[in-house]
Structure 1
Amino acid sequence: MSPSYDALWWAKAQSAGVLQVDPATPPVAGMLRAAEPDASSVWLVPAMPSGAGHAVLEELGTPPVAVEQPNETARVLAICVTCCWRERSEPAWPGTTATLTQIKAVYAGLRGRAEQSSDLTLIVGSLRRLNGTGWLLWNEKAGEVRLGPRVIGWGPAQLVGLREVCRVLPEPPAAVLVPQAPEPAPEDPLLGAADE
């Protein structure tokens, strides 16, 4: 593909974050592809240079973690990794679907106390922030969450650390999932413009 094609996708990723596209979308230089388990769509995720600092990540529009309530958000991300990445010898993406009930149970176990009414507000706020940045895919209506496409950028060193985090966090209860019809991938205006 041409440099202008790649630049267009990079500009789109900078403004919108991770991008869900049709599987037939040609590769983009410098972007990782994360296929949905049912192969209905793929996610384009900017590949981060090794050791990229906060300034580089901010410039690319991909901050490492949502900045509002960073400790709580990081805690909820760790809990979601524990709940969604059950086969830890396998890659983290796409993981499995976890429920809000599981997340609340692990959160209460981590805090060492019974669930409190304020916990749900903190958890849901963190899930929304992590969904907005592509770390998680949060279906608020169904109360279900999956790891987001940005996790494909985790290298072996990060996965070793995450396995240790998962080992020390409380085990989640079994998930009870609600059957859902898949949503079609949104049509990409960039592909339509190329056909004209």
Structure 2
Amino acid sequence: MDLLTNSFPQLLQGLAITLSLGVVSFVLGSALGALIALARISDVRFLRALAISYVSIFRGTPLLIQILIIYFGLPQIGIQLEPIPSAILALTLFAAAYLSENFRGGILGVDIGQWEAANSMGMPYWRTFRRIVFPQAIRVATPAVGSRFIALMKDTSLASVVTVVELTRVAESIGSSTFRYMEAFFLVGAIYWLINTLLSIGQGVLERRMGRAYAT
């Protein structure tokens, strides 16, 4: 208990940075992932190939390597980023690859009859997508997207390798100053568990509400 009391200000600061990394990267990754998903289902072969290549690269390489390339590699070509922007960029690009597949699965999960019915009424493609397909696709994709958000929140711990003072880095600092590494990492692990438990509960509530909306 004394470890928690003495290190509370550090933990609070680390928690704020962890949450910021996770939320900002998820929002940006969702926007980019949606664009990539649309490119994947596009009739334009170049866009489709570009999206497939993007997903293959960012899903096929470790996030840690991507963070290191952005933070240590980009300065070699004249692009210098601070630790937090570097971490956000890496997390965003990584999350977008997975989220694009979640969104694509949601879009493809909408019955083709929805498209055909809208087309028979003369509704333009983008209006059909925005008003009919997209709301249903989001409902289908919500479980997978929620799981990705939870995973991304844990992935923020890798930002510690580029000196971002988030929860994991705080645990290292507390351990090095008190030599109570086990307690420090158990404490931070418990905080991560609490964050993700709350996110899981929120995801469950959202899924039930969306389910009721379509059931009525």
TM normalised by structure 2 equals: 0.22
Greater helix content: 2
- The higher radius of gyration belongs to 2
What TM-score do you get using the length of structure 1 for normalisation? 0.24
1 or 2, which has the higher strand percentage?
Answer: 1
